Amino acid sequence: MNSSVSQGLPLLKNESGKPALCLVTGATGYIGGRLIVELLKHGYRVRILARNADRLKYHPWIDQVEVSEGDAHNPDVLAEAMIGVDVAYYLLHALMSKDNFEQEERDMAKGFGEAAKALGVKRIVYLGGIIAPNEVMSPHLQARAETGKILRESGVATIELRAGVVIGSGSASFEMLRYLTERLPIMTVPKWVNVRIQPIAVRDVLRYLVGAASINPTISGVFDIGGPEIFTYKEMMQQYAEAAGLPRRIIIPVPVLTPRLSSGWVGLVTPVPYTLAKRLVASLKNEVVAADDSIRGLIPDPEGGLTPFKRAVQLALTKIKDARVETRWSDASVPWTPSEPLPTDPDWAGGTLYRDVRIVHSPDSIEDVWKRVEAIGGDNGYSLATWAWEVRGFIDKIFGGVGLRRGRRDPNQLQVGDALDFWRVEEIIRPKLLRLRAEMKMPGLAWLEFGLEEDVETGGTILTQVAIYAPKGLLGHAYWWSVWPMHGLVFPSMAKNAALTKK
């Protein structure tokens, strides 16, 4: 029953002898999605608080958990979600919020702590970041530290686990490390590459999170967690190159690359968008080394010890190669993309709803056409005009958007909520419908929809591809007509690429 992550850890039970009920926030995030699986494997009952429950419906564990839907900013939503909860995992953050994310994080933590206290929650577990003593903290780390302080002062026993760089398939830190090292055999880099870092494997982070549930309820405090090795970021890149079978990298630190410039550089080279890259890079100027290892006296090491860095890299790369990446940093929603439903009323956008419709008849079965539709994007590309999407992705990166490099979690299959390049999977009805919502920056909202139906006359398939754009203001209308000339090149070839077998 127990996985290697939780093997040997005790199971917390409530007063009636049942396994404790754990509330997991951030279920669509990188750590939250994996923590749910580990808690279930260990025997805990799990409730999830999610802003949009539909994004979870295709997860294999959805029938094993309770789902509470709503916004964590809403006190009533929090109160309902915490009824009967023994342990509440706080995995919320506002890193991708454009403005004043620090205040947003403080407000969320305050509301969460107050609700936990009022509903009799016995334990809060929070994952933050390692903070070096006597150093000026970046806004990101400052907000993380204040979040932990607010939760600890809530009156509920709180275990705050502080981690540095998390190494695992799909983590933002790992993707940044991976792309920098793989794409740049020779690089000039900022001086922060000489700062010491203590990376930790995601499997060890999950073990500490699961183990924190059963720590004596009288214990409350801050605990650093780290892996068995300490490197500079420069050394870590060389270690990654060796683990990945790459030649040694030529890395030249230069003092002229400011955090702002290096954030832009990271945003262009890696899939991590500028807003997130800026906050991660700002944190790297501080030493990220565990001050003590007292947590290991409360949560014992797994058999064989904590995971060495190279082993963590190899495990992550194997999962990427085998398309077994359970969660990714990009699973979390992007703040600037509202969650309005697909508009069907032509008056939704002030009288105009632009559509580009392409219909292609295919001699292939609906099942075969669906396979090509579902494999769209990522390394598979879009069409003969994939280069045009790449240009659009580069422009999006320049303006602080997510760009095209997020790729896809699995090369062949999608699920609702997946990030797919600069799209988000909004709806899947196999083998009939795939709807993607655009997360690129633009003055309006956009969707790309593929509808399939059997052609009763020929026995083949009719594919209907619809691009839908709801403009906002005059600039929104101007945007549509400025890109309209490209539609005649991009959309027909994309529809044919999905409908017709390549010769």
Q: What is the pTM of this model?
A: 0.72
Extract the tokens encoding 486: 């490209």
Between residues 426 and 93, which one has the greater pLDDT?
426
Looking at residue 360, what is its pLDDT? Answer: 92
Residues 168 and 314 in one domain: yes
How far is it between the farthest Cα atoms of the chain? 75
β pairing state of 196-197 and 231-232: antiparallel
How many angstroms separate the CA atoms of 328 and 311, rounded?
A: 19
Domain of 488, in residue numbers: 354-499
Query: What Cα–Cα distance (Å) separates residue 47 from each residue in 22, 70, 84?
Result: 6, 13, 10
Report the range of poorest mean pLDDT among 49-63, 226-240, 332-346: 332-346
- H or E segment to which residue 416 belongs: none
pLDDT band at 370 (very low <50, low <70, confident <90, very high): very high
H-run or E-run covering 311: helix 309-321
The chain-wide mean pLDDT, for the chain, equals 83
User: Looking at the structure, do residues 386 and 322 belong to the same domain, yes or no?
Assistant: no
- pLDDT above 70 covers what percent of the chain? 83
270 and 361 both lie in a single domain: no
Identify whether residues 306 and 369 lie together within a single domain.
no
Between 346 and 59, where is the model more confident? Answer: 59
Q: What is the pLDDT of residue 112?
A: 95
Domain boundary among 315, 330, 345: 330
- Find the range with the poorest average confidence among 66-70, 86-90, 377-381, 449-453: 377-381
Instruction: Give the pLDDT band (50/70/90) at residue 198.
Output: very high
Domain assignment present for residue 10? The answer is no
In a domain, 13, yes or no: no
Rg (CA), the chain: 24
- Report the relative pairing of strands 423-429 and 419-420 from DSSP bridges: antiparallel
Closest CA to 327 of 439, 182, 203: 203
Q: How far is CA 69 from the centre of its chain?
A: 19
- What tens digit of pLDDT does each residue of 228-271 get? 999 998 999 999 999 988 899 998 877 765 656 665 666 666 66
Report yes or no on 168 lying in a domain: yes
Closest by CA to 328, choosing from 134, 172, 140, is 172
Residues 6+ apart with CB under 8 A from 284: 192, 195, 197, 233
Are residues 339 and 261 in contact, defined by beta-carbon separation less than 8 angstroms? no
Give the pLDDT of residue 348: 41
Q: What is the pLDDT of residue 346?
A: 37
Residue 311 CA to residue 121 CA, distance in Å, equals 37
Quick count: other Cβ atoms within 10 Å of Cβ 259? 17
pLDDT at 296: 92
- Segment (H or E) for 413: none
Count of domains in the chain? 2
Q: What is the DSSP letter of 56?
A: G
Q: Pick 324 or 95 by higher pLDDT.
A: 324
Q: How far apart are the first and last CA of the chain?
A: 48
Is residue 20 within 8 A of residue 13, CB to CB? The reply is yes
Q: What is the mean predicted confidence (pLDDT) over 57-79?
A: 89
Give the bridge partners for 24, in sequence order: 48, 89
Phi-psi region of 417 (alpha: psi -120 to 50; beta: other; left: phi over 0): left
173 plus 241 within the same structural domain: yes
* Domain assignment present for 27: yes
79-93, 234-248, 331-345: which has the minimum mean pLDDT? 331-345
For residues 59 and 198, membership in a common domain is answered with: yes
Q: Based on the domain organization, do 225 and 288 belong to the same domain?
A: yes
Residue 342 lies in a domain: no
**Cβ-proximal residues to 424 (8 Å cutoff; 6+ apart), any chain:** 333, 334, 337, 417, 418, 436, 437, 438, 439
Residues 166 and 258 placed together within one structural domain of the fold: yes
Q: 320 with 363, same domain?
A: no
Is 277's pLDDT higher than 60?
A: yes
Mind listing the pLDDT tens digit for each residue in 137-160?
667 678 888 999 999 999 999 999
* pLDDT, average across residues 51-61: 80
Helices then strands, counting H and E runs in the chain, come out as: 14, 19
Residue 292 confidence (pLDDT) above 90: no
Long-range residue pairs from 395-402, CB within 8 A, at least 24 positions apart, any chain: 396/422, 396/440, 396/441, 397/267, 397/268, 397/273, 397/274, 399/441, 400/267, 400/273, 400/274, 400/275, 400/441, 401/273, 401/439, 401/440, 401/441, 402/271, 402/273, 402/330, 402/334, 402/439, 402/440
**Is 26 a domain residue?**
yes
Would the pLDDT of 1 be above 60?
no
Once rounded to an integer, what is the mean pLDDT over residues 264-281? Answer: 64
Q: What is the per-residue DSSP string for 232-300?
A: EHHHHHHHHHHHTTPPPPEEEE-TT--HHHHHHHHHHHSSS-HHHHHHHHHHHTS-B--S--THHHHSP
Name residue 362's beta-bridge partners: 461
Q: What is the pLDDT of residue 158?
A: 96
Say how far apart CA 375 and CA 408 lie, in whole Å. Answer: 9
Supply the pLDDT for residue 98: 53
pLDDT of residue 193: 83
Tokens matching residue 433: 């419908």
Which range, 304-313, 337-346, 491-500, is most confident? 304-313
| CATH number for the domain harbouring residue 450 | 3.30.530.20
Summarize the confidence of residues 283-295 as an average pLDDT.
Answer: 82
CB 117 within 8 A of CB 92: no
Query: Is residue 340 in a domain?
Result: no
- Is the separation of the CB atoms in 159 and 219 below 8 Å? yes
Inside any domain, residue 74: yes
Task: Clarify whether residues 237 and 133 are in a common domain.
Answer: yes
Give the end of a domain, one of 265, 297, 330: 330
Residue 66 tokens read as 């309770």
Is the pLDDT at 336 greater than 50, yes or no? no
User: Which residues in 38-68 are b (16+ Cβ under 10 Å) and which e?
Assistant: bbbbbebbbbbbbbbeebbeebebeeebeeb
What gap in Å lies between CA 148 and CA 152, rounded to an integer?
A: 6
What 3-state DSSP class applies to 461?
strand
Say if residue 431 is preceded by a cis peptide, omega within 30 of 0: yes
pLDDT beyond 70 at 498: yes
| Residue with token string 């699961």 | 210
**Band (352; pLDDT cuts 50, 70, 90):** low
CA distance 226 to 249: 25
What is residue 82's predicted lDDT score, i.e. its pLDDT?
95
Residues 429, 281, single domain; the answer is no
Q: What is the pLDDT of residue 345?
A: 41
Helix, coil or strand: residue 471: strand
Domain harbouring 90, CATH code: 3.40.50.720
Residue 312 and residue 368 share a domain? no
The torsion angle over the Cα atoms of residues 100, 104, 105 and 107, rounded to 10 degrees, is 140
